[in-house]
Amino acid sequence: MKIALVSPYDYAFPGGVNEHVSRLGESFTNMGHTVKIIAPCSRRHKVPENNDFIFLGRPISIHASGSIVRAPVSPWLFFSHQVKNVLERECFDLIHIHEPLFPPLCTAVVHYAETVIVGTFHASRSRSWGYWFWKPICLKRWFDKLDGRIAVSKPAMEFASRYFPGDYAIIPNGVDLKHFSADVAPIEEYCDGKLNIMFVGRLEKRKGLGHLLGAYRRIKREFPHSRLIVVGPDGNLRRDYDRIVARWRLADVVFTGYVSDDDLPRYYKAADIFCAPATGKESFGIVLLEAMAVSKPIVASDIEGYANLVSHGVNGLLVKPKDEKALAAALSQLLEDKALRERMGALGRQRVEDYSWERVAQRVMDYYQSLDLKGK
């Protein structure tokens, strides 16, 4: 089968949707299918030069829903024949679009496609003015054109179905269990006897790093040999957190900046606790899967996108979002109990086996096969 996987986001920058698309593509190729990824890309030299990619659109940075989105915005991409010509030339058997109602690239593919179309919905937010405004004008028509609909989690399904009711299959994100493994070597400089708390993610307010710094301030006096390692691209927000660290005179706070895919598992391995203090709007916790795969106990906000992965008291501890006192108490509980950390880490590794990309990709393929692939 010849499959197109479509992402609306700049493929030169790491992110959950692009990682999902990349891993699905690799898994489908290993199954013997032909796969091409259609996406915008601002730095094509960062992507392997081969026939597996079709780059469309010029992405720019957009501030939306407390995050920075890098995607094309020009309506020319929709109204030109560029997308139509690609689809006619490639003759895909199935087109799988991630965030299928995200304009202009994804909506253009839906509009011009004349084969089986599957859409995966990743986002989870409290509301969407774009969905509300554009639904009666055009989005409902394009949504109805989808032959199959997938959501990566229950929160993602509930968000999409609030505006577009219908049947959705819930198929989660996955994790590369060979890459993220408890057998990797840790980053040596952090293996000095200190207890390492690790945060991984963009330095956006909704990711909760500010609350984690507040909790760390509380526990640092009780655990002077603790350290907070912040892994992720600095962006323009780094200086705000630097000011917080300086104002509170917090010692042993390390900002690593961007970390390569090869080194990221080694950072997880060096951690004693992984902390995800997001304030909300998380449909799924890919970083939780990665930490669990490396057998690390989790302290995370008790939001639905995380509670689907972390069972409180089993493979981690869940706390009320934005509650720095509760966050500090949960971290302290694990910092003082090595046996508890090891037990939760081992149980997390067992749980994450169900999320291997091989299993997730097979579930997606089974869903494809359940559709009428000859119906168009």
In a domain, 18, yes or no: yes
In a domain, 179, yes or no: no
Q: Which two tokens stand for residue 201?
A: 């993610």
In a domain, 219, yes or no: yes
| Judgement on whether residues 21 and 160 belong to the same structural domain of the protein | yes
pLDDT reported for residue 179: 95
- The string of pLDDT tens digits covering residues 330-366 is 999 999 999 999 999 999 999 999 999 999 999 999 9
Q: Assign residue 275 the CATH number of its domain.
A: 3.40.50.2000
pLDDT greater than 60 at residue 376? no
| Judgement on whether residues 343 and 362 belong to the same structural domain of the protein | no
| Judgement on whether residues 205 and 325 belong to the same structural domain of the protein | yes
* 364 contacts: CB under 8 Å, gap ≥ 6: 24, 96, 150, 171
> Which three-class secondary structure string do you get for 195-212?
EEEEEECCCCHHHCHHHH
pLDDT reported for residue 134: 82
**Number of folded domains in the chain?**
2
268 with 274: CB under 8 angstroms?
A: yes
First to last CA, the chain: 15
pLDDT reported for residue 2: 98
pLDDT greater than 90 at residue 236? no
Burial 64-99 (b: 16+ CB within 10 A, else e): eeeebbbbbeeeebbeeebbeebbeeeebbbbbbbb
pLDDT greater than 70 at residue 65? no
pLDDT greater than 90 at residue 310? yes
| Judgement on whether residues 113 and 251 belong to the same structural domain of the protein | no
- The string of pLDDT tens digits covering residues 243-301 is 999 999 999 999 999 999 999 999 999 999 999 999 987 888 999 999 999 999 999 99
pLDDT reported for residue 293: 98
Cis peptide bond N-terminal to 104, omega within 30: yes
| Judgement on whether residues 248 and 366 belong to the same structural domain of the protein | no
In a domain, 181, yes or no: no
- From CA 309, how far away is CA 113, in angstroms rounded? 35
| Judgement on whether residues 112 and 261 belong to the same structural domain of the protein | no
- From CA 200, how far away is CA 88, in angstroms rounded? 41
Average pLDDT estimate for 306-322? 96
| Judgement on whether residues 323 and 240 belong to the same structural domain of the protein | yes
| Judgement on whether residues 30 and 150 belong to the same structural domain of the protein | yes
Average pLDDT estimate for 37-56? 83
- The string of pLDDT tens digits covering residues 192-230 is 999 999 999 989 888 999 999 999 999 999 999 999 999
- From CA 151, how far away is CA 170, in angstroms rounded? 5
| Judgement on whether residues 99 and 204 belong to the same structural domain of the protein | no
- The string of pLDDT tens digits covering residues 129-161 is 888 888 898 899 999 999 999 999 999 999 999
Containing domain of residue 77, as a range?
Answer: 2-174+356-370
- From CA 73, how far away is CA 58, in angstroms rounded? 8
pLDDT reported for residue 46: 65
